[in-house]
Amino acid sequence: MDQSWISMPYYMMDAAFPAHIDRIYRVMRAHFKDTAARAGLTTSQLELLLVIATTDLNTAGAIAKRIGVSRSLLSKTVDELVRGDFLETVPDERDRRVVHLHLKPRAEEIAAQCRAVRSDFYRKICTGIDEEELKVSMRVMQQMWDNVNVMACRMGADMRCDTKKEKGDSE
């Protein structure tokens, strides 16, 4: 395995690394576009449903931080999904200012389809990579995520400081 990049100065990653991450994200969103269209949703609406379905996040504030959008934009998306019978809002029993978002059965079906689409996408992008390489890649990506999260938390309230793990992630 070519590891010549390891000895290169970090600044040489500048051009390639962010571009690769961005490209993966854009292609994955495009992969979900057909699923969204079949359901009569935008990819942003679909992304919100998928976050609720696959994480422990269920309040607008927490989700807005997670996906990096303003609460007002997320609120508009939530309102559209409630009107479309995809989401229901449930006031918190202890704090009336907090509203929990729950998937309705229609959205649960779409989330299941999305999980299948996502699995297919991951399978395709991991073609030609053996299991050990994937394990190493996941450890490296997790460490990078942790490092970025520390940086974001230190930068202040306007940066995402993600402390929640996805359902199924180990502590």
Q: What is the pLDDT of residues 139-171, one digit of tens each?
A: 988 998 888 888 878 876 555 565 544 444 443
Query: Phi-psi region for residue 89, left (φ > 0), alpha (ψ -120 to 50) or beta?
Result: beta
Mean of pLDDT values over 108-124: 91
**Contact present, 51 and 63 (Cβ < 8 Å):** yes
**What CATH number belongs to 27-125?**
1.10.10.10
Q: Is the pLDDT reported for residue 3 higher than 60?
A: no
pLDDT reported for residue 11: 58
Distance, in Å, from the CA atom of 28 to the CA atom of 49, rounded to the nearest integer, reads: 16
Distance, in Å, from the CA atom of 136 to the CA atom of 15, rounded to the nearest integer, reads: 23
Angle of CA points 131, 137, 141, to nearest 5°: 145
**Contact present, 61 and 72 (Cβ < 8 Å):** no
pLDDT reported for residue 112: 92
Q: Is the pLDDT reported for residue 74 higher than 70?
A: yes
Q: CATH 1.10.10.10 residue ranges in the chain?
A: 27-125
